[in-house]
Amino acid sequence: MADLRSQLVTRVRGTLSEALGATRTRLAGAETELTAARERLVRVRRAAAAVPQRVGAERDRRLAEIDDRHAARIAELARRAAAAALREAPGAASASWTAWRAAPAGRGEPIGPVRVGTLRIAGAEPVPALVPLLDAGHVHLSGGDRDGADAVVSALLLRGVGRADPGAVRLSGYDPEHLGGGLAGFAPLGTAGLLTFVGPGGLGRLLDDLVEQIRRINETVLAGEYGSLRELAAATGRRPEPWRVAVLLGGDELSRHERGQLDRVVRTGAACGVHLVVRGIPLPEDPTVTRIVAEPGDARVGAPPGLPVRLDPPPPAALVTETCREIASRVNAGPPPTPFTDLLPPPEQMWKEDSAHGLTAPIGEGPHGRPVLLTLGDYPPHALIGGPSGTGKTNLIFAWIGALAARYSPAELEFYLLDFKEGVSFARFAQGRRDPSWLPHMRLVGINVNTDREFGLALLRFLAEELRRRADAAKKHEVTKLAELRAVDPTGHWPRIVAVVDEFQALLAGRDVVAREAADLLEDLARRGRSQGIHLVLASQDVRGIEALWGRPALVAQFTLRIALPKALRILAERNDAAQALPRHHAVVNAESGMTEGNQLARIPSASDWETWSELQHRLWRMRPQDAAPARLFDGDAVPRLVDAPDYRALTPQGDTPPPRGPVALLGEIIDVQARSAALRLPRAPGRNLAVLGTRVDEACAVLDAAARSLARQHRPGTARFSIACLDPDADPAARALYEDLADDAAWYDEETVPELMAETAEALGRPGTPSTPHYLLLFAVDAAAGRLAAPAGGRSGLEQLRRILHDGPERRTHVLAWWRGIARMRVDLGGPAARTDQIGAWVALDVQGAELGSSLYPGTGGPDWYPRPWRGLFFDRAVHRTGQVIIPYGPSR
């Protein structure tokens, strides 16, 4: 039992020992864990204590980063806003006053807002504070900062007038407290009618006028086609109405009527260019009203609370006054012309019009921005243009020709242009050395013809012949009008013809045959030309030119289209004085014979300068038909050359058997529409000799030189004989040059040997048979040899032999082409004052008066109407002419 007990005790003790050991082990482990936990706790508490510091630092870092990004973003946005503001309001709309100057917006470009100050943005560059006004709305000012509000008013107005074209902004001031003193700097605008002041009690009338302007613009200008003037300008590139800005600076309580009118202007004014700048008068709430509250040190723009703005200082008074004076000066000088391109159709539409029923083209811009059209057709058929020198008559003709030429092809329209005043401005229509292009429609250009009325008469004769040709064709096809003729004869060439005669009164001056025939032809063309598509445009800068027509009421009545330039007289009807108040670059267009009810005001573009016209002419020239030929250019100051004459170039050597009509001697260029030569036929017939009469050496030599060279061109070498006798030392160079060029076919004689020429030639005439070789005697100043020829030689004097040669020579193919330095000298050589002159079948008179030629050389009594002038001659051939032909001797061949 004891053993069992002992064993149990031992076992118990062992178990307890094990339990104790395990407990101690667990205790030690728990203490270790406790220690570690306490250490972790300490670390956790230490870490927990460090977290707020790190979080705060990170928070501070992130906030700083956000602040930097925000500041950079604000700065970038401010920079972009400033750049956008400068784009929206460039130049005069936003420039600082130190660098400010008036700079109008481009054509068709909107005016945009204007600057009144800068937005206050901390840490960013200033951003212009812009306020919409012209074409946008109204501005209302309030607050206690009176000086700041005055600065805003001055800035708005100065920037507005400086951004618009001169005269495009008209101001009305209502300042009952200071009686206009608030707008004193703008007073110079009043001299041009751009600023008016309304006195106390006049607000109602001002508002009534603004409402009436809005009504008129809506009805007559916008006319339901456009929603606003800004929309119209954007679509057409034109602004027909000015901006009207009413500046209302305080006053008494508005009446019910005034309040109603003010509300109407606020609602409807911006679309019609009518705007308000108001201080001291409440304006109704409306999207078009921009409100500016100016308090000392604090200004806000826009709807409450508004954007904080630092207002600009007022513009310097000297800048305001100087700018307004400059604008007024430019307005008083008249508006500038509109661009010439306004008259032209788009390039793809050029030459697309049909002229069968008439010609229609714009000549300029009317008061409402719409084109003013000119028509030539059955009605009105012809036009009369008048205006003093410097008022733009030539420019108007250029503009009209350009507008027509761009719309109608050369197959539809032809021009004939004649300018009687001195100058070469119309020469650009023809081919020139400087510019090889020409206007394809132009058939004739005559310049510097102030002394060559015969050329104008030739043009009228040409048009009369064309009228007859068209009338005959119309009769053949049993029609009466050009449109009908073109319909039944589509293959014919029937363009409309426009003949422009500038300074036409030169044609009608005097009481000679030229004036009488010109007046008769003008009247016939004006009366009958309309039906056959021939239209006259007569222009004059002198009232006497217009008065030359009034004696022919039947002629004046045909010119129902009248165009009067500034200060023009006698163009419009007697009581129609609309032209007297015209500004520069404008014209009154009237298609009702000048009656007042037919007036249309047109602003004429600038078309006559070289660059403007050249661009259009080159475009049309490149479009010309392949068979197009340059216009005939007649320059009254130019001397033609024989080698350039078409008739001379057409001459060729004759065969062995000469033509029955004989060779032809060309003497000079006829003053007519075609560049024809004055031709003297030399057949075997009595009197086929030529006398050149006058003392002008160069001209006389030129006539004989051209005659000899043209004759030589018709003969092969060795088949003609030219005897050249020069008896005047001044003519020797020209005669020598001719002798050298004719080479072996020519023989030279002087004062000593000319009697031998007479004797030899007279002797040859007595031989039987007809000479096979023609003989031409070219006698330069033959009267100088009177003493030599008077002495007998072989039984007869040289003068008697000369008379025999003149009488018998032509039938034996011997012709005399001689120059006498006076008619009296020629008569002496022919046998005295009573001698017959039949042997002189043709003559060219130079500085010889018509009365001197008398009835012996010219048919009728009193001689021809001939007034000598430099480098002109009167040619008369008994066998051909009824009246003389004015010719221009050809210039020296060398």
Element (H, E) at 462: helix 453-476
Residue 512 CA to residue 515 CA, distance in Å, equals: 6
Whether 780 shows a pLDDT value over 90: the answer reads yes
DSSP 339: B
* Assigned token pair, 206: 């001002």
Most confident option among 95-99, 239-243, 738-742: 738-742
pLDDT confidence bin for 889, thresholds 50/70/90: very high
* Assigned token pair, 876: 């008369």
CA dist 185 → 41, 103, 314, 684 (Å): 85, 19, 11, 93
User: Which residue type does 615 have?
Assistant: E
Whether 664 shows a pLDDT value over 70: the answer reads yes
- What 3-state class would DSSP assign to 232? helix
The average pLDDT across 758-767 equals 87
- How many other β-carbons are positioned within 10 Å of the β-carbon of residue 858? 21
Which residues, 6+ apart, have CB-to-CB distance to 748 below 8 Å? 724, 725, 726, 739
Which residues, 6+ apart, have CB-to-CB distance to 529 below 8 Å? 381, 382, 463, 467, 535, 536
Q: To which residue do tokens 């036009």 refer? A: 383
The average pLDDT across 530-548 equals 78
CB 576 within 8 A of CB 547: no
* Assigned token pair, 352: 């697309």
pLDDT confidence bin for 545, thresholds 50/70/90: low
DSSP 99: G
CA dist 377 → 295, 380, 478, 496 (Å): 69, 6, 20, 9
Angle at 579 between CA 575 and CA 585, to 5 degrees: 170
Q: What are phi and psi of 390, to 5 degrees?
A: 90, 0
Whether 299 shows a pLDDT value over 70: the answer reads yes
Predicted confidence at residue 78, as pLDDT, reads 60
- Return the bridge partners of 245, or none: 171, 275
pLDDT confidence bin for 122, thresholds 50/70/90: low
Q: To which residue do tokens 């020598």 refer? A: 736
pLDDT confidence bin for 549, thresholds 50/70/90: low
Cβ-based burial of 255 (10 A; exposed 0-12, middle 13-18, buried ≥19): exposed
pLDDT confidence bin for 832, thresholds 50/70/90: confident
pLDDT confidence bin for 725, thresholds 50/70/90: very high
Element (H, E) at 400: helix 393-407
- Return the bridge partners of 792, or none: 797
The average pLDDT across 5-25 equals 82
Segment 692-716, tens digit of pLDDT? 999 999 999 999 999 999 999 999 9
Peptide bond into 362 cis (omega under 30): no
* Assigned token pair, 107: 């054509």
Which residues, 6+ apart, have CB-to-CB distance to 832 below 8 Å? none
Q: What are phi and psi of 536, to 5 degrees?
A: -105, 135
Q: Give me the half-sphere count of Cα atoms (radius 13 Å) on the Cβ side of residue 283.
A: 27
Residue among 358, 754, 373, 724 nearest 533 (CA): 358
Which residues, 6+ apart, have CB-to-CB distance to 53 below 8 Å? none
* Assigned token pair, 825: 């000298």
Residue 249 CA to residue 184 CA, distance in Å, equals: 13
Q: Count Cβ neighbours within 10 Å for each residue of 773-791 and write b for 16 or more, e otherwise.
A: ebbbbbbbbbbbbeebbee
Q: To which residue do tokens 């002495």 refer? A: 791
Prediction pTM value: 0.75
- Return the bridge partners of 195, or none: 171
Whether 864 shows a pLDDT value over 90: the answer reads no
Segment 168-195, tens digit of pLDDT? 899 998 988 777 677 888 889 888 888 9
* Assigned token pair, 836: 């017959």
Angle at 768 between CA 836 and CA 796, to 5 degrees: 45
Predicted confidence at residue 321, as pLDDT, reads 92
- Return the bridge partners of 279, or none: 141, 249
Residue among 770, 769, 822, 826 nearest 802 (CA): 826
Most confident option among 31-40, 96-105, 167-176, 208-217: 208-217
CB 658 within 8 A of CB 719: no
CA dist 525 → 117, 381, 452, 461, 540 (Å): 69, 11, 21, 10, 19
pLDDT confidence bin for 649, thresholds 50/70/90: very high
Residue 626 CA to residue 410 CA, distance in Å, equals: 12
pLDDT confidence bin for 110, thresholds 50/70/90: confident
CA dist 417 → 426, 460, 503, 861 (Å): 8, 12, 11, 36
Peptide bond into 90 cis (omega under 30): no
CA dist 284 → 65, 150, 259, 264, 291 (Å): 46, 22, 10, 10, 11
- How many other β-carbons are positioned within 10 Å of the β-carbon of residue 367? 15
Most confident option among 36-45, 289-298, 691-700, 864-873: 691-700
